[in-house]
Structure 1
Amino acid sequence: MRGDLRQALEADNLFARKSLGQHFLLDLNLTAKIARLAGIQPGDTILEVGPGPGGLTHALLASPAARVIAVEKDPRFVAHLRSFFADEADRLIVREADALALDEVTLLAELGIKQPVRLISNLPYNVGTPLLVKWLKAGSWRGPMCLMFQTEVAERICARPGSPHYGRLAVLAAARCDARLALHVPRLAFVPPPKVESAIVVLEDHGKPFEDLPGLEHVTAHAFGQRRKMLRASLKGLGDAEALLADAGIDPTARPETISPEGFFALARAWRARA
C-alpha cells in the first residue's frame, strides 16, 4: 500500500540538491491539474524527465496513460521512485540517466515502444532550455510536450514578434510547434521554494515543420546575438548579409524582434542555399 509522499521523503532524509536545480512539486492537486493540461489519452506513453520524489509522477500514474518512463539523474530518487511506486511496477519504468545525454530512440526501441511519446516534466531550471531545443529537433518518436520552466523562459518560448520576450527560442519553438503558456505556478508551491516563478508551457506539433533546425539555430544566434542592431549589421558573420536578406525578402534595416518566425525560416533557407 502506497504511503504519504512527504512522509516517505522525511523518513528517508531525501532533500533537494541545489547543484541539480531540484525544487520539488508535492502538491498533488496541482500536479493533477498539470496532468489534465497535458491531455493524456488512454494508451499513451509518457516520458518524464527529472521526476525527483515523484509528485508529478503520482499524477501521471493516476491518468489513463499505459506507461510512464521516468528518467532521473539522482540515484537517491531512482531507488525512491521504484520503492514508493512499487504497486505500479507494471506501468512505471525508472531509468537512471542524464536527460541531456539520453538517446531516446534507443531507449524506446529497447522498451518496444513504437508510438510517439508525450513529454511531461517539471524540468530542472538549469537544463530546461537545452532539453527543449533537443526535443524540438527530435524525430517521430516525440509527441506533444507539457513542460514546466521558470516563467521568464516560458514567456520567451511563447513570445510573438514585437514582444520584449521574443527571440531565438520562440523562433525555434515555432518551427515545429504551437506553444501556449497554460498555467502559472507560484514559487511557494515548491519545496524548497525557488527564487523565481514558474509556468507550464504546452507545445503541440502544428504539422508544418521547418526541418532545418540547425540552420535556424545558426541564423538566429547571429540575429539575436546583437538584437539592437539592424539585421544587415548583425548578420555580417553569415557572409553577404545584404544578399541573404534580399533572398529572404527581408528589409535589411529591420531589427530581429520585428521579424516573424516565417521570415527567419526564409532566411535560414537562404543561408543554407549559399553555405
Structure 2
Amino acid sequence: MKPLPPLRKVIAQHGLSASKALGQNFLLDGQLLARIARVPGDLNGERVYEVGPGPGGLTRALLEAGAKVVAVERDRRCYPPLHELAAVSDGRLRLIEGDAMNVDEAAEAGVGAHIVANLPYNVGTALLVRWLSGEAWPPWWKSLTLMFQQEVAQRIVASPDSAAYGRLAVLAQWRSLPRLAMKVHRSAFVPPPKVMSAVVHIQPKPAPSGVSPATMARVTASAFGQRRKMLRRSLQSVPGALSALERLGIDAERRAETLTVEEYVALARMLDGSNSNQDTES
C-alpha cells in the first residue's frame, strides 16, 4: 500500500470523535493493531470480515498483513477516511455502509473468511452469540478474533463453577475453542473506556453429534436465566429436562454454573433423542 498519514492526523482532518451512543473507542497504536492482526495467523491473501472499523486503524493493520477486507460501518462520519483507505488498498478493501446486524455476512465476506474486529461495546455480545449459534457447522467463518470488554472476554473462556461461567461460556465452548489472546489496557484507546479490554480468539471444532443448537440455546437460557436457583426449578419449563437429569445421574439440586460444558451437551443430546423418539412414535 501507499504510505498513509498517521491515524491521529486522519481523525483530526475529518473532525472525528468516538461516539458513546455507538459504543465507539478508537484504537490508534499501530504496533498494538499489528499484534491484533497477527492473532489469527498469517492473513496474507486471506479474506477478513471486519465490523465497526471506525476511522480504519485495525483495517490498516489487516491490509498491511496482506488481507482482503470487507468492512461494515454504520457511522457515516467514518465513510470519508475509509473510502480514502480503500482508494490506496489495491482493491483489497470493500466498505459496506450499514448496520452489521442486517448484513448477510457469508454472502458478503464469503465462506472461509476470518472475522477480526474491535467490536462496538453495544452490539459485541449479540454478534458473537449469532456467530456461535448457527445451525450449520462448521460455520461460514474460519476464526473469530474479537475485542471485548475484559469482563465479557473472561465470560467467554470461563471454567465451570467460577463467577464468570455462564451461558456465553457454554455457547462458546461446546463446539469451538476460545482462548484469551491478549489484554489491552484502557489507556490504548481514545477516549479511554472505563474498563479494561481483551482480545479473544475462537476457532470452530467438530460439533458433538446428536445435539441441535436450538436445544442447547433453550437449555442454557433456562438454566442460567435463574442461575441462583437449583436446576429442578430453573429447568422445569423445559419439557423432559428433569427426567433427563435423573437418567444422566445429574443432581437436580445443583446450580447451573456447576455443570460442565460436557454435561450440558449430554443433557441437550438426551432431550433431542427424546424428541426424536416421540416424533417416531407419533
The normalised TM-score by structure 1 is 0.92
Amino acid at match of 1:268: A
- Residue matched to 1:220: 220
Counterpart Cα distance in 1 of 2:247 and 2:87: 59
- Residue matched to 1:180: 179
Counterpart Cα distance in 2 of 1:79 and 1:248: 58
Alpha-carbon distance, 1:169 to partner: 0.2
- Residue matched to 1:171: 170
- Residue matched to 1:259: 259
Question: Gaps (5+ residues) in structure 1?
Answer: none
Contact preservation (8 Å) 1:119, 1:145: yes
Number of aligned positions between the proteins: 269
Counterpart Cα distance in 1 of 2:84 and 2:66: 22
Alpha-carbon distance, 1:271 to partner: 3.0
Counting only pairs closer than 5 Å after superposition, residues 112-127 of structure 1 correspond to structure 2 as 113=110, 115-127=111-123
Instruction: Return the match for 1:130 from 108, 126, 129.
Output: 126
- Residues 107 and 84 of structure 1: is their aligned pair in 2 closer, same or farther, counting only changes over 3 Å? closer
Counterpart Cα distance in 2 of 1:101 and 1:273: 34
In the TM superposition, what whole-angstrom CA distance separates every residue of 1:155-205 from its partner, at most 9, and x where no partner exists?
000001121110000000012211111111111111111111100001011
Instruction: Return the match for 2:24 from 15, 22, 25.
Output: 22
Question: Gaps (5+ residues) in structure 2?
Answer: 276-282
- Residue matched to 1:238: 238
Counting only pairs closer than 5 Å after superposition, residues 27-66 of structure 1 correspond to structure 2 as 27-65=29-67
Specify the SS of the correspondent of 1:184: strand
Alpha-carbon distance, 1:3 to partner: 1.6
Counterpart Cα distance in 2 of 1:214 and 1:225: 16
Alpha-carbon distance, 1:105 to partner: 2.6
Amino acid at match of 1:161: P
Counterpart Cα distance in 2 of 1:262 and 1:49: 32
Amino acid at match of 1:41: L
Alpha-carbon distance, 1:274 to partner: 4.4
Contact preservation (8 Å) 2:150, 2:196: yes
Larger deviation, residues 48-57 vs 96-105: 96-105
Counting only pairs closer than 5 Å after superposition, residues 85-124 of structure 1 correspond to structure 2 as 85-108=86-109, 113=110, 115-124=111-120
Counterpart Cα distance in 1 of 2:175 and 2:14: 42
Counterpart Cα distance in 1 of 2:52 and 2:267: 36
In the TM superposition, what whole-angstrom CA distance separates every residue of 1:77-113 from its partner, at most 9, and x where no partner exists?
12320113421041011111211121113324xxxx4
- Residues 106 and 85 of structure 1: is their aligned pair in 2 closer, same or farther, counting only changes over 3 Å? closer
Counterpart Cα distance in 2 of 1:53 and 1:107: 21
Counterpart Cα distance in 2 of 1:135 and 1:103: 12
Amino acid at match of 1:254: R
- Residue matched to 1:10: 12
Specify the SS of the correspondent of 1:100: helix
Kindly report the root-mean-square deviation, in angstroms, between the aligned alpha carbons of the 2 structures.
1.7
Larger deviation, residues 207-216 vs 168-177: 207-216
Alpha-carbon distance, 1:236 to partner: 0.9
Amino acid at match of 1:256: A
Counterpart Cα distance in 1 of 2:22 and 2:90: 26
Counterpart Cα distance in 2 of 1:117 and 1:174: 20
- Residue matched to 2:197: 198
Alpha-carbon distance, 1:74 to partner: 0.9
Percent of counterpart pairs with the same letter? 48
